[in-house]
Amino acid sequence: MYNGIEHTAIATKDPEALAGWYEQNLEMPIVHRYGGNVFVRANDGTMLEMIPSDGVEVETGMRTPGIRHLAIKADDFDEGVKDLEGKGIEIVQFVEAGPNRLAFFLDPEGNILHLIDRGDTPI
């Protein structure tokens, strides 16, 4: 009955600018706009919706309540890391957990993302 997550929304002060960053840096083209909202789509069909934010920004960390990160798949983990670094995106933390490798980084508004390589281990 339920087939997965179609999209996730990120509240942002500038939906166009943040969507443009995802388009430019993570190969997620802008595919739809309405009422100030902007959608980007990954190659696998999943989408992010950038929506205009209201209120005061809150400080978040890796374990504060709520959604904490977006995991990004890449064809080649090591090449993905090199690509991000070549674009001036700082990898803030590397984690190895069994066969899984993670490279954490931030978007321009401080949202936490990471590249993931699960090795040969299925979830």
Segment 32-42, tens digit of pLDDT: 999 999 999 99
Residue 61 placed within a domain: no
The amino acid at 97: A
Could you tell me if 37 and 82 lie in one domain?
A: no
Residue 21 is inside which H or E element, if any? Answer: helix 15-26
pLDDT by residue (tens digit) across 40-91?
Answer: 999 999 999 999 999 888 888 888 888 889 999 999 999 999 999 999 999 9
Could you tell me if 47 and 7 lie in one domain?
A: yes
Residue ranges making up the domain that contains 95: 68-123
Could you tell me if 47 and 75 lie in one domain?
A: no
Residue 63 placed within a domain: no
Dist. CA 100–CA 88, nearest whole Å: 24
Structure-token pair, residue 102: 């993670």
Q: In CATH, what number is assigned to the domain containing residue 92?
A: 3.10.180.10
Q: In CATH, what number is assigned to the domain containing residue 22?
A: 3.30.720.120
